[in-house]
Amino acid sequence: MSAPEPTAELGGAPLIDSHCHLQALESDERERAMDRARERGVSGFLVPALHLGEAEDVLEFCHRNPDTWCALGTHPHEASQWQEGDRERLRALLSDPKAVAVGECGLDFFYDHAPRQRQIEVMREQWSLAIELDLPVVVHNRESNEAMLAQLLQPEHEGLQADFHSFAGGLELGRELIELGFYLGFTGMITFKRADNVRQVIPEVPHDRMLVETDTPYLAPVPYRGKTNQPAYVVEIASRLAVECGESLADLAQRTSENFFALFTKAQGDSSA
């Protein structure tokens, strides 16, 4: 398949980067990166926090940017930081209109930065809070398919709404997640030469369950692979996704933006946007 046309037009359609860690960029670079993205037509950004210690800063940043929302929670890498009382602390933080999801949370059995049992407990705490508050979760899953699926199938997790961000879990898990009604987010990985295992899931995903994201500062798409990623490159990712789906970039951008607001409904109601 040939490379996507990087200058392809959005034709006025909205395009949202549904997962970018803008807090990882230096503050002046962050503003420049957002402006570059806006110049290319990127109309929204979701910033997932990695731990509760940065939640206030992330919220403050979102309040300064009408096109920016956040997920608040504790990443599996940081699961050991989760303390007694954090459920209540997170509940209070989530009352902010800019906090549209819980996360990012999940399991990472590749890096194992926290003990696996702890990762599972901390993810369960966050899922149960999300269900109670009727908020979606942003899920990180790496080398943990079996444990993830076991948790998803627990009866107490019925009603969970989720974005499986940077999906690379393979066809089998992909089909299970689709069956359960979850959303799958695709990153620059879909542009990598050796990523047939990621691309093969794309045709299986219903059109109303697909999201597009950069995962800034990681996973920059071709032709920027190896560089620091930035939200402007969501255009390259969306272009490739559109090619894989056999539709125009404008149509792909339009529907993934609609999907974003269908899942992250609080963003839809945010009057500052």
Residue ranges binding Zn ion (CB under 5 A): 104
Radius of gyration of the chain (CA): 17
Alpha carbon 170 to its chain centroid, in Å, reads 17
Least CB distance to Zn ion at residue 140 (A): 6
User: Helix, strand, coil % (nearest 5) of the chain?
Assistant: 50, 15, 35
On whether the CB atoms of residues 69 and 47 are closer than 8 A, the answer is yes
On whether the CB atoms of residues 48 and 103 are closer than 8 A, the answer is yes
Least CB distance to Zn ion at residue 71 (A): 9
Decide whether 22 or 243 has the Cβ nearer to Zn ion.
22
Kindly give the pairing relationship between strand 99-108 and strand 137-142. Answer: parallel
Least CB distance to Zn ion at residue 48 (A): 5
Decide whether 4 or 103 has the Cβ nearer to Zn ion.
103
Least CB distance to Zn ion at residue 20 (A): 8
Decide whether 104 or 108 has the Cβ nearer to Zn ion.
104
Taking the C-alpha atoms of 29, 188, 66 and 87 in order, what is their torsion angle to the nearest 10 degrees?
Answer: -100
Decide whether 10 or 105 has the Cβ nearer to Zn ion.
105
On whether the CB atoms of residues 198 and 173 are closer than 8 A, the answer is no
Least CB distance to Zn ion at residue 114 (A): 16
Q: What is the DSSP letter of 110?
A: T
Cβ-Cβ contacts under 8 Å for 76 (sequence gap 6 or more): 105, 106, 107, 108, 113, 114, 119, 122, 123, 140
Least CB distance to Zn ion at residue 167 (A): 12
